[in-house]
Structures are given as structure tokens and as C-alpha cells.
Amino acid sequence: MENLRKLLEKVNTENPTPFDLKIVSLSNYYIGLERRRDIKKIRRLKLLVHLYPSIIEKNAFRSIQTLVENPTEKTLIVIRNPEKITAIEYELIQKYYGYIRFNGNNLKPVFKVLDLYECFGLNDKKS
């Protein structure tokens, strides 16, 4: 997890901000997953942080942990230009809505997290 490692190097240990605490919590969570050798959850966390780096800034630690641990019926809302939607996101939006909904310039793609994990082979039948 290069992004998380780089962010961890920048953490202010003398006067931590809430963002610094979130980075440390995510790092400790990642280390705990490595110790338990829970490869599927490690890959899920890496996938979320890689595809959506702003997820760390915009969500609480517990929200990210829930997306990794128990993604049942959880959705992601991605705010970006229609031209920048990836092919995978396009398919996931179609699967969620049954069709593509474009509201002019206000595009908010919504899809299920489990469907995203399924595309990358990280879907767990128990989750």
C-alpha cells in the first residue's frame, strides 16, 4: 500500500490532526489484517485505496473498515465528470440501475461495493 505508507510518513506525531489519526488507524488495521493473513480483506482495502484515494479523506475510519469487512448492501457514490468514468464503473452503474442515469453535468455514479469486489474476484459469499 504505497499511498498509505507515504501518508504515514507525513503524519505529525507531536500534534496529530484527525486526518493523522485516521491514517494511523488505517495503518494499524492493515497490519492487523497482515498478521491474521486475511488476504481477501487486504486486497479489498488496497483496491479501494488505489481506485479511490480520496476515500481516506472523505470517509471515517469505521466506514472504510465496514466497506472492507462487511460490504453487504453498501454503495459507493463517485463524483466525477462523465468522460472520466471507467469501463468497470460504467458496467457497475448499469448493473445497479439497470440503465445509465446521467443528470447533465451532475453525474453521481452509484454502485454496490460487492459488485466492485466481484469484478476483481474479491467477493466473499459469506459477506
Enter the DSSP assignment of 76. Answer: E
Let me know: does 49 contact 56? Beta carbons within 8 Å.
Answer: yes
Q: Which three cell numbers stand for residue 24?
A: 494511523
Cα–Cα distance, 98 to 10 (Å, whole number)? 43
34 pLDDT higher than 90: yes
Q: Map residue 38 onto helix, strand or coil.
A: coil
pLDDT in tens, 71-83: 888 888 877 766 7
Contacts of 13 (CB under 8 A, 6+ apart): none
pLDDT in tens, 89-100: 888 888 877 666
Q: Map residue 54 onto helix, strand or coil.
A: coil
